[in-house]
Amino acid sequence: MTKHFVTFYSPGTFVSETTTEPINSWDIKAAMALARSVKERYNAVPYGFQFSTRTRGENDLDSSVVKKSRMYYLGGKVETLAEIEARNDPAEKILLDNMRCNGYKKVLINTNSWHWTVPLRPTDRVLEFQIKEEKCQE
């Protein structure tokens, strides 16, 4: 048996809150639509998601993850180490120290619900997204 899932990541107190839902396929548009219904503690909403595929054999007690997608971020602003250094903002000292020590070249700053900053890896993808769906006016 094989099933696909999408795991949404939302801001948490110390680590991200996660919600995993089944999905028919690794469909980015379907995951983006589903993201609008996810609410975590303190009304936190997703800043990103990742697909996974799980399988379970006839004699397996539980399923196991056999494949994971890249991370997809739901909007936000990409900033480079150079841009943050150029601002020379004392409030960003810890961010700069973390970026330098860990070799992060870019970060993503997302404010879908709370201010959340994550390292941006070369394989990650930032999608155009607003948590509130736009309604067409006639």
Q: What are the CA-CA distances from residue 76 to residues 55, 67, 115 (Å)?
A: 33, 26, 10
Instruction: Return the SS3 of 43.
Output: helix
pTM of the full structure? 0.88
Choose among 27, 20, 39: nearest CA to 127.
27
Residue 136 pLDDT: 46
What pLDDT, in 10s, does the model give residues 92-130?
Answer: 999 999 999 999 999 999 999 899 999 999 999 999 998
User: Exposed e or buried b for every residue in 91-109, given b needs 16+ CB within 10 A?
Assistant: eeeebbeebeeeebebbbb
> Contact, 66 vs 43, CB < 8 A?
no
Q: Which two tokens stand for residue 112?
A: 């879908």
pLDDT < 50: residue spans in the chain: 135-136, 138
